[in-house]
Chains A and B, each alone.
Chain A
Amino acid sequence: MKTSKLLIALSIFCLMLGACASTNDDEPSLSDSQTNGDQIPSAAARQDDIAYTDISRNPEVPKIVDVTTTVDASTAEQTGITNDAMTSSSTVDSTTVESTTVDSTLTPQSTTTTTTTQSTTSSNLNNTPSTTSTTNTDSMTSSSTTDDTDTTDDTETASRTRMRKD
Chain B
Amino acid sequence: MRSFDVVSNLERETHMKRTALILTLLVALTASAAEESSALLRRAWPGTSAANLENVGAGIGIVFTPDLSVKNNCRFYEALGFACFESADWLQILADIHSYNLNHPGRRVRTLVLETHGTNGHGLKVQKSKKPSDDRSYISVAALQEILEPVGVRYIIISACNSGRLLRPEIYRKLNREPGDKLFLAPTRGIIDATEDFDPKRTTVTVITPGTSAIETTLVGSLHELATPTREAIEDAAKKRDVKLPKQFAISEMLIRMMIRDPKLELRTGQSVEELSKVQTSVADSEKLFKTFITHLDFVAARHSRGSSAVAAASR
Interface residues of A (CB under 8 A from B): 3-4, 7, 10-11, 14, 17-18, 20-22, 24-25, 27-30, 32-34, 36, 39-40, 43, 46, 50-56, 60-72, 75-76, 79-81, 83, 85-87, 89, 91-92, 95, 97, 99, 101, 103, 105-106, 123, 125-126, 138, 140, 142-143, 145-147, 150, 152, 154, 156-157, 160-166
The size bracket of the interface on B is 35 or more
Contact with A along B219-246 (1 / 0, CB 8 A): 1111111011101100100110001111
Cross-chain contact of A55 among B46, B94, B194 (Cβ < 8 A): B94
B77: Cβ under 8 A from any A Cβ: no
> Are B132 and A86 within 8 A (Cβ)?
yes
> Are B46 and A32 within 8 A (Cβ)?
yes
Interface residues of A: mostly helix, strand, loop or mixed? loop
Q: For residue B246, which residues in chain A have a CB less than 8 angstroms away from its CB?
A: 146-147, 150
Interface residues of B in 46-98 (CB under 8 A from A): 46-52, 55, 58-59, 67-68, 70-72, 75, 91, 94-95, 98
Cross-chain contact of A27 among B29, B46, B98, B225 (Cβ < 8 A): B46
B160: Cβ under 8 A from any A Cβ: yes
> Are A21 and B32 within 8 A (Cβ)?
yes
**CB closest chain-B residue, reference A32:** B47
Expressed in whole angstroms, the minimum distance between the Cβ of B222 and any Cβ of chain A is 4
> Are B244 and A146 within 8 A (Cβ)?
yes
Contact with A along B198-235 (1 / 0, CB 8 A): 00000000000000000111111111110111011001
Cross-chain contact of A150 among B71, B152, B235 (Cβ < 8 A): B71
> Are B229 and A36 within 8 A (Cβ)?
no
Expressed in whole angstroms, the minimum distance between the Cβ of A59 and any Cβ of chain B is 9
Interface residues of B in 1-49 (CB under 8 A from A): 14, 17-18, 21, 24-25, 28-29, 31-32, 35-36, 38-39, 42-43, 46-49
> Are B218 and A162 within 8 A (Cβ)?
yes
B128: Cβ under 8 A from any A Cβ: no
B166: Cβ under 8 A from any A Cβ: no
Cross-chain contact of A62 among B47, B58, B118, B194 (Cβ < 8 A): B194
- Contact status of A71 and B186, CB under 8 A, knowing A25-B39, A36-B58, A147-B75: yes
**CB closest chain-A residue, reference B148:** A55
- Contact status of A52 and B150, CB under 8 A, knowing A11-B21, A156-B221, A161-B219: yes
> Are A147 and B220 within 8 A (Cβ)?
no
> Are A154 and B195 within 8 A (Cβ)?
no
CA distance A7 to B17 in the complex (A): 8
Most chain B CB within a 10 A radius of its CB, from A10, A76, A106, A166: A166
B290: Cβ under 8 A from any A Cβ: yes
Q: For residue A4, which residues in chain B have a CB less than 8 angstroms away from its CB?
A: 14
> Are B190 and A66 within 8 A (Cβ)?
yes
B287: Cβ under 8 A from any A Cβ: yes
Q: For residue A3, which residues in chain B have a CB less than 8 angstroms away from its CB?
A: 14
Q: Could you give 11 example pairs across A and B, Cβ below 8 Å?
A: A50-B152, A52-B150, A63-B193, A80-B182, A97-B284, A146-B223, A146-B245, A156-B221, A160-B221, A163-B67, A164-B215
